[in-house]
Amino acid sequence: MHFARLRRLALGLLAALASAGASAQSWPARSIHFVVPFSAGGANDLLGRAAAEGAAKALGQTIIIDNRPGAGTVLGTDLVAKAAPDGYTFLVSSAGVLSNGMIRKSVPYKPDDLVPVAMIGLAPSVIVVPPSSPYSNLKEFVAASNQGAGLHFSTAGTGSTPHFVEGLLATKYGAKLDTVPYKSGAESVAAVLGGQIDATSEASIVVIPYLKSGKLKALATTWTTRISAYPQLATATEEGFPEIRIAHWAGVHAPRGTPAAILDKMAAAVDAAMKDPATAKRLRDMGIEPIGGSRASFEKFIDEERARLGGVVKATGMSED
């Protein structure tokens, strides 16, 4: 009887594996959902839509964008973390998929409930000041911050990319900055435009129009390479600040348990989308750098990003308001 039970279990396992293999081979058989945990129109949303459009062509199925903003990306992230791991629900992820668990007292999902699938691309952050500001580069800005009471630096809230830029400036280079959190990047930039705040950083796609119109002045871009759409701006590394390495990135994550064959197919589809010449040009013209790549390269990026952000959180004591 014991042998019979073991035989039934073995046969059941083989049947389940065969079913999963067949499911992965026939995938996708219907529309796929990309959950974007931001409102429409921002860098993450635009990257998600570009990836969805190109990946849909490669896979031969529609990919529907589902904007689910709220709770600092937690709402949309939790939705995907709890979704069936069948290859029909993915998260258009950002740094929040890593940092929320570091700075919030609790999140409704575990860090390993989601697995990295593919890098889409990134919008380098740009440190900006009002056009009337006396600072022409990042060195002058950091030096000035150490005189008197320091300078005011606005962010899009606790744990936002501008907050991490401020944290790196403070902990790695001794900048004396008073952090002023706003509810969104739009409000944070508006405060600099209005001259109420000394500086902020925001995604290239947001600030480049202001730079070109002369309404803002850029001190540096915070990624490792210059921005394709604004190549005259030096990187922070070129200005002597190599630790200032951060960007507004977007990738694709899936619920843990999604078959590896499906993850591989999606990663290849996203990579193809980012390598499409027309798509790549459209993104670069907006200030977004298409990346793509393999599952392995995205996993490596995630590991490095987790370590880098974790170091800033620990050094600054960054925590939920």
Alpha helices in 128-237 (DSSP H): 138-145, 161-173, 185-193, 204-213
Contact 203/197 with Cβ under 8 angstroms?
no
Residue 203's H or E segment, with its range, is strand 199-203
**Encoded amino acid at 218, one letter:** A
2: tokens are 């014991």
- Taking CA atoms, 49 is separated from 99, 145, 287, 320, in Å, by 23, 39, 15, 30
116: tokens are 């990295």
What pLDDT, on the 0 to 100 scale, is given for residue 244? 95
35: which strand partners?
66, 91
The total of other beta-carbon atoms located within 10 Å of residue 106's CB is 8
What pLDDT, on the 0 to 100 scale, is given for residue 30? 97
Helix, strand, coil % over all residues of the chain, rounded to 5 = 45, 20, 30
276: tokens are 């499409």
What pLDDT, on the 0 to 100 scale, is given for residue 1? 46
What pLDDT, on the 0 to 100 scale, is given for residue 3? 55
What pLDDT, on the 0 to 100 scale, is given for residue 23? 63
What pLDDT, on the 0 to 100 scale, is given for residue 18? 47
Q: What is the pTM of this model?
A: 0.86
pLDDT in single tens digits along all 321 residues of the chain: 455 655 665 555 554 444 445 467 899 999 999 999 988 887 889 899 999 999 999 999 999 999 998 888 899 999 999 999 999 999 999 999 999 999 988 899 998 999 999 999 999 999 999 999 999 999 999 999 999 889 999 998 888 899 999 999 999 999 999 999 998 888 999 999 999 999 999 999 999 999 999 999 999 999 999 999 999 999 999 999 999 999 999 999 999 999 999 999 999 999 999 999 999 999 999 899 999 999 999 999 999 999 999 999 999 998 876
